[in-house]
Structures are given as structure tokens and as C-alpha cells.
Structure 1
Amino acid sequence: MNLRGYLEELEEKTLSPYAALSSRSRGRQRAEAECPLRTAFQRDRDRIIHSKAFRRLKHKTQVFLSPTGDHYRTRLTHTLEVAQISRTIARALRLNEDLTEAIALGHDLGHTPFGHAGEKVLDDLHPGGFRHYEQSLRVVEFLEKNGRGLNLTWEVRDGILKHSKGRASIIPGPEDGPATLEGQVVRVADIIAYINHDLDDALRAGVITMDDIPRWCLKILGSRHSQRIGTMVRSLVEKTKEADDGRLHLDPAVLEAMEALRDFLFENVYESPTVHAEFIKAEKLLRELYEYFLAQENIWEKEATLYGPETSRHRIACDFISGMTDRYALNLYKELFIPRPWLVY
């Protein structure tokens, strides 16, 4: 028996009846030979980590645009925190950690520069609208590897596409959540991560103080960053185990406090004058870049080789801009629109 076969057998023996088994994956878009060492979901995780889109996450905004402070989160550190929380939950519930990790690492690959400010611009300008979770799927299905994509399993692609919840219910219902319980775990872990690290970053930046945070939320969840994450994760694990029905559950008091903290962040951080003022600048920058690219005939020498003649310029511009890092967008804008001094000797 090769190592992959042993690992698949181990999954059969040890994982929960609700877990997704790699040996029973619904497969890839294109058939390919199995790896003798890794399961299908381990292979997907590795492909995501080695992708160009994953590397670019280190220079994409989480909340604070192009932060120069060493300790502010970026889209990459957010992704790693989601992966860690997801794996902790998956292990406690005896779910497939490899599938959970692959979804978590790939969930934000399609996010724009400048966070949700960039997403708003592309949603306004692109005729088909723009949603970062759909773009994340487009990255792994098409844009990576010069138009071939990463050829991931159906379960990972499903989890990436359905990970986002906006301000909807934190616990996904059967009609709108991922098909696997592992994908549902990532969806909840995503909000656990960002509620806590965005609060932490906002405190560090001086946008809010501890006195601003609703006291009753801190009483339920904890006064420290680690306490709050621990409370949320324990509640999810304990209530899900207690129900034992193949769905995720949270203690009602914890769920209410999480929703209140999320609302607090939207009202006092994401939409605060300090943060929003920079978002307005970022939106203007990306809007001008987008309109510039639409007007140019031969602007994408490398990128154009991915597309057929039927692809609209809007689609190409949208792909190009959404893949940019903050610093690339800033440098390109400076090169295109800011005059350089004429040197006279």
C-alpha cells in the first residue's frame, strides 16, 4: 500500500461520520493521476500555498491600507489565522483537517488591493459586478498557471466559493452554506478571525479604545484577544458536539455577542471617518486605473495571452486590477498619473 492509501484508510477509521473523506472526493475538473504520497486535499493545500496569488496576499490590505506598522494584519496573516482556527475546530470535531486547511488558505485569493474598498470599485465598474469569493474561484480555476488553473477538487472549490457571509447569519443555513461541514467551519472561522484581529488592529491604531467596546460583549467573550477567540471556538465545538446533527451550533449568548461585535466594527471601524477617508482615496485610484486600462489597446502584453478574442476588456481589466497588491497599484498609479520632475544638469 502506498502512503496515500494508508492515509485514506486512516481517515475512514478515525474521522467523524460527518467528515468529507479524500478518497470519496467528487473529483477535479480534469482527471489526473493520484499522488502516491498525499491525499487529494493535501495536494490542493500545497498547490494553493505555492500559487502566485497566495504570495501576493502579503501585500494586500486587511483593514488598514498599506500599513507600515510591523504588527498590523494583511490579507495573508488573516488567511493564516483563519487556517489555524479552522484546523483547531476541525480536529476537535474529527473533521478532515486537510480539506479545512485547503479551503481556508484559498478563500481570499481573489481579494482586491485595498480590501473592501477595491471590491466596491470593481463591483461598481465591472458590468457583471464583482464579489471576491467568485474571483477567488476564478483564480484557482483559470487565472493561475497561465490559464490552466490549479485543478482543485470539487470540495475545495465549493468551500472557497461559499465562504463569505457579509453581515448575514454567522452560522450558515443548509441552503446557503458550503456542501461540506469543513467548508462551513472555514466560513465561521473567517468571521471569528476578523472580528478579533480587526478589533485588535483598531485598538493598536487608536481608532477605538477598550472603553468604546460594548461591556456586555467583553463580559461574555473575554477582555483579551486570546480569551475572545477561545470562547468562540469552544462554544462552537461544544455546542456542535452536543447537537451531533451534522451542522454547526453556537451558544445563543456567544452568537449574540459575536453579532454585536461585528456590528460595532462596521459602525466604529470600517465606516469610521479615519478609515473611510483612506478608502475614498483608494477607490479613486483604482477607478482611474480601471478606466485607463479600458482605453488602452495594448496594455496587457503578458495577461492578454490568457484570453480568447471573445473576452471583454472589462473582464481583463477586472482580473488585472483584482490581482494587484496595494503597493503595485500605488506604484503603477504614480507611474501613470503623477508627473516626474524633469532633471536638468
Structure 2
Amino acid sequence: MNIREQFEKREANFLSPFGCQSAHSRGRMNPEEPCPIRTAFQVDRDRIVYCNAFRRLKHKTQVFLNPLGDEYRTRLTHTLEVSQIARTITRAMFLNEDLAEAIALGHDLGHTPFGHGGEAVLQEIHSPEFRHHKQSLRVVDAIENNGRGLNLTHEVRDGILKHSKGYGKILPDNPDELACTMEGRIVRISDIMAYLNHDLDDAVRSGVVRESQVPEVCVRVIGRTHQERATTMIRDLIFSSRPAGGELKLAMSNEVFGAMTTLRTFLYENVYRSARVHREFIKAKKILSELYAYLLENEAVFEKELTRMGIAGCMDNGQPREQVVCDFIASITDRYALNLYEKIFFPSPTV
């Protein structure tokens, strides 16, 4: 018995009946020999951590564009916080921590530069169907590894695709919106727990809102500090969830769930749609729109940038040029977009 098989045996003896055992994975799109050391989900986690798209997250906006303060969250630190919350919950519920970690680390790989503002731009100039969770799946399937993809397991790919809820329900009623594993469903909830906490934290730090503006019910029920809020949300989910009808039903108490919903509404109205954030979105929209149009018309420049990004192989996948340009725009970081825009559109000194 090799090391991987010993881990798989341990999972069979340790995990809850509701957990997804790595030995029972539905497999990969392209079959491959299993690793003798790591389980399938451990392999997926490592492939995500070592890929280019994961490293780029450190220079992609969470909420505040190109922040100068060192403590503001980026898309990478958001991802790490989601991963930590998901690991804590799955461990406490005796579910597969490796699977939850892999999904969490990969869930935002398709996020655009300039946060959700960049996503809205691509919906407008490329396709109304563009969504960052779908793009995250494109990244792991068809963009990373120079167009060959990462060949992840079905369970991780499914969790990445179904992690997003936008402004919809935290716990959706539609089964089609739910991941096929409990671990994937927990990542979905962990995502909102993470951003509710850290986006409020950053909004107060930046002066966009004041602590005194936070609804009283949120402070009273889930806490005043980041630590208090995270602890309350995590514990409430763990202790409110129960087996029912042969399934594990993820649930939260009415009080905590209501306070989370109130906090989310507060953030949308006072932070995400605030005049300050919107002003920066207008600037980002101009940059991404003009880059998209320019790269469509200038093939030589575009191919050079694809090579520089290490994704030139995407041109050979038979995708329409508009799709490849969209993939490129979605892949670049905030500073890459700013530098490329300056290089293309700003006059160069001649002396």
C-alpha cells in the first residue's frame, strides 16, 4: 500500500458519510496515473497553488482599486481567507478538508482586474453571459498551462463553477445552483462569510463608511470586530447544520442569518455602490474597454502580450478571437492593465 492509498484508507475511516472521499472521485476529463503520494484532491490543490493565475491574484482588486495601504485585501488574501474558513468548517464537520481547500483556492482564478467592476465591463463589451465563476472554470480547463489546462477532478471543477451567488440567496433553494459535494457548498458559504467580514473591515479603514454606520443588529448579533464576526458565523453554521433525510442540511440560525443578510445589504448600498468606488470603476471601464478594442484590431501586439503572459497556446484552441481577447483581459492584473494601457495609448518621449 503506497502513501496515497494509506491516506485514502484514513479518509474512509475518518470522514463523515456526507464527506467526499478522494478515492470515490468521478475523475478527470483526461485520465492520468494517480500520484503515489498525494490524493486526487491534494494534487488539485497543488496544481492550483503553483499555477500562474493563482499568483496573479496578489495584484487583483478585491474592492478598492490599486490600494496603497499594505493592509487592504487583494483577491489573493480574500482567497486565503475563504480557504481558511472552509477548512475550519469542513474539519469540524468531519468532511474532506483537502477538497474544500482546493475549491476555495481555485474559486476566483477567473476574476478580472479591477474587481467586480472589471467583470461588469466584460459583460458589456464582450458578452452579457460573462461571469467570473464561469471564467474560473475556463482558467483551469482551457487557459492555464499554456492552453492545456490543469486537468482537475470533477468535484473541484464543479465546486469552482458553483461557488458564486452574486446578490442571490446565501443558501439557494435551487438544487442546480448547489455544488455536488458538501465541501463545495461550504466553500460557497465561506466565500460570503469572508467578504462580509473583510470588505467591511477595509471599508472602515478607508473611510468609505464609519463603524457607527454599521446596523446595530449586525454588531449585536455577529460582533463588532472581524474576529468576533467570523467566529459567530462559523460556529453558527457548524452547530445549526443537521442530518435530515439522509443528507447533511447546511443551515444557520434565523438571528445570525438575518444579521448577515442585513450586513450584505449595507455593504452593497454603502460600499460596493458608493460614489467613491463607482468613480474608480468608470476609470477602469475606460481602460479595459479601450484595451479590448485595440487588441482585437492589432494582432501582432496581442500575440506578443499572450506570449509574455505565457498563454499563447490559447490561440490554438479554435476559440474565436473575441473569446481569446476576453480571456486575456480577464487574466491580467490591475497593474498589468495600467502599464499596458500606458504603453499603448500614452505618447512616448522621443528625446
Normalised TM-score (structure 2) = 0.95
Give the Å deviation of 1:286. 0.5
Runs of 4+ in 1 over 3 A off after TM superposition: 241-245
Tell me if structure 1 keeps the 8 A contact 2:314–2:324.
no
Gaps of 5+ in 1: none
Residue-by-residue CA offset, 1:151-200 (whole Å, 9 max, x unaligned): 00000000000000011111133331111000000000000000000000
Structure 2 unaligned segments of length 5 or more: list them: none
Match of 2:143 in 1: 143
Q: CA deviation at 1:295?
A: 1.4
Kindly provide the amino acid, as one letter, of the partner of residue 300 in structure 1. E
Report the number of matched residues.
Answer: 343
Deviation readout 1:213-234 (Å, 9 max, x if unpaired): 0011110101111001110000
Counterpart in the other structure of 2:191: 190
RMSD: 1.3
For the 8 Å contact 2:110–2:133, the answer to whether it is kept is yes
Q: 2:344: which partner in 1? A: 336
Of 276, 279, 299, which residue of structure 2 is paired with 1:277? Answer: 279
- Structure 1 residue 265 displacement after superposition: 0.4
Distance 1:165 1:188, change over 3 A: same
SS of equivalent to 1:30: coil
> Equivalences for 1:49-68 in 2 at 5 Å?
49-68=49-68
Partners of 1:130 and 1:219 lie apart in 2 by 38
- State the AA in 1 paired with 2:221: I
In structure 2, how many angstroms separate the alpha carbons of the residues matched to 1:237 and 1:132? 28
In 2 relative to 1, CA 309–23 (structure 1 residues): closer, same or farther, beyond 3 Å? Answer: closer
What secondary structure does 1:108 align onto? coil
Choose 198-207 or 304-313, whichever is displaced more.
304-313
Q: Which is worse superposed, 45-54 or 247-256?
A: 247-256
Provide the C-alpha distance between the structure 1 equivalents of 2:50 and 2:247, rounded to a whole number of angstroms.
36
Identity among equivalent positions (%) equals 57
- When residues 198 and 128 of structure 1 are mapped into structure 2, their CA distance, relative to the original with a 3 A threshold, is closer
Superposed displacement of residue 128, structure 1: 6.1
Q: Partner of 1:170: helix, strand, or coil?
A: coil
Partner Cα separation in structure 1 for residue 126 and residue 73 of structure 2: 28
List per-residue Cα deviations over 1:18-72 (Å, max 9, x = no partner).
Answer: 0001000000011111111100000000000000000000000000001111000
Residues 112 and 118 in structure 1, CA contact (< 8 A), matched pair in contact too? yes
2:100/2:186 contact within 8 Å kept: yes
The answer on whether the counterparts of 2:147 and 2:312 sit within 8 Å (CA) in structure 1 is: no
- Equivalent residues in 2 for 1:151-162, closer than 5 Å: 151-162=151-162
Deviation per CA, 1:289-328: give whole Å up to 9, x if none. Answer: 0111111132214245422484212101101100000000
| Contact 1:93–1:241 under 8 Å retained in 2 | no
Higher deviation after alignment, 89-98 or 234-243: 234-243
8 Å contact from structure 2 (residues 146, 312) kept in 1: no
The 10-residue stretch of structure 1 (40-49 or 296-305) with the greater mean CA deviation from structure 2: 296-305
**Is the alpha carbon distance of 1:208 and 1:306 closer, same or farther for their aligned partners in structure 2, counting shifts above 3 Å?**
same
Counterpart-to-counterpart distance in 1, 2:249 and 2:317: 45
Displacement, 1:341?
A: 3.4
Q: Is the 8 A contact 2:242 2:249 kept in 1?
A: no
**Are 2:338 and 1:311 aligned?**
no
- Paired letter, 1:250: M
Q: Superposed, which structure 2 residues align to 1:1-345 within 5 Å?
A: 1-127=1-127, 129-173=129-173, 174-241=175-242, 245-298=247-300, 299-301=302-304, 302=307, 303-308=311-316, 310-343=318-351
Distance 1:245 1:155 in 2: 18
Distance 1:338 1:124 in 2: 25
> How much has 1:242 moved relative to structure 2?
7.0
SS where residue 71 of structure 1 aligns? coil
Is residue 122–residue 129 contact of structure 1 (8 Å, CA) maintained in 2?
no
